[in-house]
Structure 1
Amino acid sequence: MTDSGGRRVLYVDSDAAARRRVASALAAEGLDVRTAATAAEALGGLRSRGVDCVVTAYDLSDDHGGALVRGVRTIAPGLAVTLFADAGVDPPDAAATGDLPALVPRSEGPAGLAERVAGELRSGGGWAPGDPGRAVPEALKERAMDEAPVGITISDPSLPDNPLIYVNQAYVEMTGYREDEVLGRNCRLLQGEGTNEDRVAEMAAAIARDEPVTVELRNYRKDGTEFWNRVDIAPIVEDGAVTNYVGFQTDITERKRAERRAERNAVAARREQANLEHLVDRVQGLMRDVTATTVRAESRDEMEREVCARIAATDNYVAAWVGDLVPTLDRVEARASAGESADRLADLSVDVEAASGPTAEAATTDAVRAVVRASDPLHAGASAVAPPSAEALAAVPLAYRDSRYGVLNVYAADAEAFDDRETVVLESLARAVASAVARFESRRVLTSHTVTELTVGFSDETNPFVALATDADARLEYEGGLLDDEGRWVTFFAVDGADPERVCAAASTDPAVAAATPLSTADDGGVVEITVADPTLVELLADSGARTTGVTVTPDGHARLRLDVADRDAVRTVVESVAAVYDGTELLATHERDRPSRTPREFRSNVIDQLTERQRVALQKAYLGGFFEWPHEVSGDELAESMGISRSTFHQHLRAAERKIVAELFADAVPD
């Protein structure tokens, strides 16, 4: 073995056995051997391996030795390369580099190859990539400039007007000028009308001082299109004098556009923030005023007048108007108005069936409808009613839960006033007003001396009582009901034409019925207690301001509800509440009557309010079950068992309830 100073050799061969043999022979010559199986592997790790010589077989699995030689020449032009191949191989790819590799015939075997490579390295051949002392070939430098992704120019200040003497391909593509069109001309040929003179002067001053400079200019391509150009210029100094200027041009148009977009967005954001802050201040003040009005007002009329006044006094609004849905179900009539043309608005009436304007649409669709005078009439068929300065109208439905109470109309002087944010504000105002209206209407139900009696019919077997009457072939008459501790509707029905046991048996198959118990039986009838798990209809009617006075269900599946409402305006809401639950709902009759100063129902309500739940249930079961008849139709033991309590406890509850009833009955006759 000879001393080769630990020089490093990379051997490339796809044949593993051949790699081992050649590596062993090279190592025997004192060489540090690395191996690779493919051309790609060899080139990929060439610099990181830091080798002094590459030896390769010709036949490689992913390429051939000639291609590998060409790749090595590109990455490390001065690196020694030896081709271990059959005699006579003259790879054209290698020849194209102008520097054929050394060729060692395979006939010399691994030992001969190792001896030849070691001798070459001992004589000083080879170069390790990354050696700091090696100069980059001029051809490589020129190629790097030609293929650089940024525009590169070189000018000669010794010639008149410092003309360009070199431009690369990227410059040609960026500017649209051919090479022969720019060589010999000054670089100012890219400047134009929009070029900033201050930046041009800054660049000229730096060149005059032989100093590097960077400027961003609006330049123009050959076809006249604008682009933003970042220009970096540096002097090339030789023997203390500037011989040339090298320039780098980078197209930064997209960056400039992004900056302008960011600036515009920032301006828009600041404007939007200012608008939003103004809106928040205005909204908070308006909502505070309206909320205070709805709470403080003692009547619906007062509340609506004050709300209209508050809205009309707000910036950009010129008037406000509240219209109410009348019982005929087809008109919205004014209740309150304020602001410009308030007197004309006070007489406004809109036919929701015939009209197509925003007020009618808001009343029938429960959606906010905003229109601009320039494109739509503010009030179809009654344009003269709208305030003269109003350019836009927003009609907002007054709805609370499932009840409709009318429409709030707001008029604005700005045609673009009612954007999405403004609509949200008005919807919030309308909800507050509608909630207050619902509260006032509920109060009227309790205090009004005039009531409207409604008869509403439907034939929908999804109602458990309709299904029971049909299945049991019985007539059911409502005798009363209550909500138990679990929120279920406990009802009592008189049965006519069927055995109560048969009704309860039919009820046991209905998933809507939680429990059914016969309380008493008589000839062809009796009383049953039916508990309904979901009291939807009861809650809807209560929310609509209606009181149920009777329910009759016939064997043919027809149900009739008898209801009392304190205000005729609530008729529509009540009917719609029933129709929302049951198909085929229709209003059969209405009748107004005076309500006595103290109705039996009010008396009963006062009594029930004083009873405990156990006392009320014991009393109602005893009464409806026939306990107070003689002879008893049901015993105290049976009633106690139905409540799950002892006989003595049942009688304690019953006696306590009786004492409270008697006390209420004679309360007015007892002197102070």
Structure 2
Amino acid sequence: MASRNDLAASALETLPITAAVIDETGEILLTNQSWRAFSPETQTDHVGVDYIAMVTAADDEHARRALEGIEAVVEGDRDSFAMEYPCHSPDQKQWFLMRVSPFTDGDRRLVSLVHLEITDRKLAEIAAEENAERVREERRALEHVLERVDGLVRDVTDAAVSAETRDAIERDVCARLAETDPYVLAWIGRTDVTNRRLTPREWAGEDTVPLETDELVLGTDETHPAVRAFTDGEPQVIQDLAAFDDADRWWPTGADEHLHSVIALPLTYGDVTYGVLVVLADESGAFDERERFVLESLAETIATAMNALEVRRMLTTETVVSIELTIEDPSLFVTRVADAVDAAISYRGLTTDADGTPLCFLHADREIDADGVASPFPDGHDVTLLSGDESGTVLEVAVGDGIVTALSEHGGVIREFTAADGVADLTVDLPNGRSARSAYDALERRYDRVELVRYHETEEPTRATEDVTARLESSLTDRQLTALQKAYYANYFEWPRDVSGEELAASMDISRSTFHQHLRTAQRKLLDELFE
């Protein structure tokens, strides 16, 4: 049987650690296989070598620390010593943990030296520290961004909300944006519905014009992000202007220029687009998802402020915008009626039936019999003949969600609406330019061809009859108002009458006596408003 010392020596040979034993003088007495294999080119066991002298010769920071620790343990000043140190080769990086521990063999004081490779752990620690540093850097960057964004949002919101005019909103907003890094230029463009142009109205930046050209043409300059933003109603981003094919048409993008990325945002409130906000930055990729979210929120704030000013102006002025349009689309209901009855059609007015369906009154320029309007409309329009003679015919059409109701939602008052030979001519008054732009855009999206013939803005005096009409409509029930409107539009008050009370009652699906009761009540309330 092997002796205890032989057994220990054999076990030491198999350990996957580099181990050696030295005496009080530092002489190496014993090494194991891992020690010898550490230098495969020599395969030396270093027995008899002065280890302390070897460490002293290394003369670097790690060697000096190791020497101090080993000597302290050898001399009995320390019970043990441990340190981590690098031992890199040209081919790879390595780290080791050295442990120095004393023990006795008879009356001799010996010291064991163990070198354990910890490369995997150190690499993991370094990776963890690098990740932690990246997180800290990202946090510092995020804190900087949040601080910048908070100031930007506050400044732009204050500028938009406190301004007294739309021009002031545009001017102050552009100035605040251009002062914020990395933005170098901001401009706001407005559209002209008559010539289909998008033109910068206000801008701010480092002595830079917003466009190389003076304006953009809707329908032509479609690659420009401002035009696309206005047309599509969605933000448009170009992260690298140098890689954008059409950049040189609108911006100086040479190597010495400072315009590198751009975002264009529609200024939209509800279904009204007031214009486009364009911001350019002096670095590529400036408009990431976080930046876009902030600027989209600011665009909404700006549009809301513009809407508030428009509403206030509507309440304090009597501006009326009149637009004249030509519409060519076979689906337009007045065109369909004109084609179906083979007559020129003109609009007379609008009311609603009992279930809220809009009813439009039209006049045809010839006499039409009941069979001529029985069912000419495959898309479901319900047409009723109210009255007629050789001078013309009054028709009632259930129009649903169509052009008349759409114009009403924009505050429009139809002054003239005629259709003949596939073409409709429309004249409508709207409360302001915003409503006119909105109504025009809505019609252009809905119908095949819409041409703006005339745009006219006037200041009209307040008319007392509008107040009377408002009070009258609020005092009448829906049925009373419908009875009065039907009677008026169907020429019931003409003499001789074109239509009887019984026919009008039938059109409302009520009895003749009930119709006359509604009509008399409505007439009395009308007279009350006029004479009391």
**TM-score normalised over the length of structure 1:** 0.59
AA matched with 1:219: C
Match of 1:40 in 2: none
Question: CA contact under 8 A between 1:228 and 1:253: conserved in structure 2?
Answer: yes
SS at match of 1:274: helix
Shift, 1:581, TM fit: 1.8
Q: 2:481 aligns with which of 596, 606, 616?
A: 616
- 321-330 or 542-551, which moves further after superposition? 542-551
Question: CA contact under 8 A between 2:80 and 2:102: conserved in structure 1?
Answer: yes
SS at match of 1:580: helix
Question: CA contact under 8 A between 2:264 and 2:278: conserved in structure 1?
Answer: yes
Taking a change above 3 Å as real, the CA distance of residues 360 and 638 of structure 1, as seen in their structure-2 partners, is closer
| Mapping 1:403-552, distance limit 5 Å | 403-410=272-279, 419-438=288-307, 440=309, 447-449=317-319, 451-461=321-331, 463=332, 466-467=335-336, 469-470=338-339, 473=342, 475-482=344-351, 488-495=357-364, 498-499=368-369, 502-503=372-373, 505-507=375-377, 509-510=378-379, 513=381, 516-522=383-389, 526-535=393-402, 537=403, 541=407, 546-552=412-418
Q: 1:249 aligns with which of 108, 117, 122?
A: 117
Question: CA contact under 8 A between 1:493 and 1:529: conserved in structure 2?
Answer: yes
Shift, 1:482, TM fit: 4.5
Q: Does 1:278 align with 2:144?
A: no
Question: CA contact under 8 A between 2:415 and 2:427: conserved in structure 1?
Answer: yes
| Mapping 1:99-498, distance limit 5 Å | 145=14, 151-158=16-23, 162=28, 165-167=31-33, 178=40, 181=43, 183-184=45-46, 200=66, 204=70, 208=74, 211=79, 215-221=83-89, 223-229=90-96, 242=110, 244-250=112-118, 251-293=120-162, 297=164, 299-308=165-174, 311=177, 320-337=186-203, 349-352=214-217, 353=220, 362-363=229-230, 366-369=234-237, 395-410=264-279, 419-438=288-307, 440=309, 447-449=317-319, 451-461=321-331, 463=332, 466-467=335-336, 469-470=338-339, 473=342, 475-482=344-351, 488-495=357-364, 498=368
Question: CA contact under 8 A between 1:327 and 1:570: conserved in structure 2?
Answer: no
C-alpha distance in 1 between matches for 2:60 and 2:395: 94
User: Which stretches in structure 1 are left out of the alignment for 5+ residues?
Assistant: 1-134
Shift, 1:369, TM fit: 4.6
Shift, 1:320, TM fit: 4.9
SS at match of 1:534: coil
Question: CA contact under 8 A between 2:156 and 2:173: conserved in structure 1?
Answer: no
C-alpha distance in 1 between matches for 2:413 and 2:43: 96
C-alpha distance in 1 between matches for 2:424 and 2:342: 14
Match of 1:562 in 2: 427
Question: CA contact under 8 A between 1:358 and 1:379: conserved in structure 2?
Answer: no
SS at match of 2:373: helix
RMSD, aligned CA: 5.2
Question: CA contact under 8 A between 1:229 and 1:252: conserved in structure 2?
Answer: no
Taking a change above 3 Å as real, the CA distance of residues 644 and 401 of structure 1, as seen in their structure-2 partners, is same
SS at match of 1:657: helix
Match of 2:446 in 1: 581
Q: Deviations over 1:485-541 (max 9, x none)?
A: 87653322334565455435234x425x4x554433445963333334434x45654
| Mapping 1:11-90, distance limit 5 Å | none
Taking a change above 3 Å as real, the CA distance of residues 646 and 381 of structure 1, as seen in their structure-2 partners, is closer
Q: Deviations over 1:233-267 (max 9, x none)?
A: 66676668546444432322441233223321232
SS at match of 2:524: helix
Question: CA contact under 8 A between 2:14 and 2:33: conserved in structure 1?
Answer: no
SS at match of 1:220: coil
Shift, 1:310, TM fit: 5.1
Q: Quick one: percent identity of the two aligned structures?
A: 29
- 490-499 or 428-437, which moves further after superposition? 490-499
Question: CA contact under 8 A between 2:155 and 2:176: conserved in structure 1?
Answer: yes
User: Which stretches in structure 2 are left out of the alignment for 5+ residues?
Assistant: none
Q: 1:590 aligns with which of 434, 449, 454?
A: 454
Q: Deviations over 1:610-654 (max 9, x none)?
A: 543232212112223443344555444554454455555543432
Shift, 1:573, TM fit: 4.9
Q: Does 1:656 align with 2:521?
A: yes
Q: Deviations over 1:260-314 (max 9, x none)?
A: 23321232133134214413431442244034225xx2x4334434444555666
Taking a change above 3 Å as real, the CA distance of residues 233 and 335 of structure 1, as seen in their structure-2 partners, is same
SS at match of 1:454: strand
AA matched with 1:406: G
Question: CA contact under 8 A between 1:477 and 1:552: conserved in structure 2?
Answer: yes
Question: CA contact under 8 A between 2:194 and 2:452: conserved in structure 1?
Answer: no
- Based on CA coordinates, which of the two structures has the bigger radius of gyration? 1
C-alpha distance in 2 between matches for 1:164 and 1:503: 118
Q: Deviations over 1:376-419 (max 9, x none)?
A: 999956869xxx99887654433334443333345668888655
Taking a change above 3 Å as real, the CA distance of residues 192 and 589 of structure 1, as seen in their structure-2 partners, is farther
Question: CA contact under 8 A between 1:488 and 1:533: conserved in structure 2?
Answer: yes
Question: CA contact under 8 A between 1:501 and 1:518: conserved in structure 2?
Answer: no
- 559-568 or 368-377, which moves further after superposition? 368-377
Shift, 1:350, TM fit: 2.2
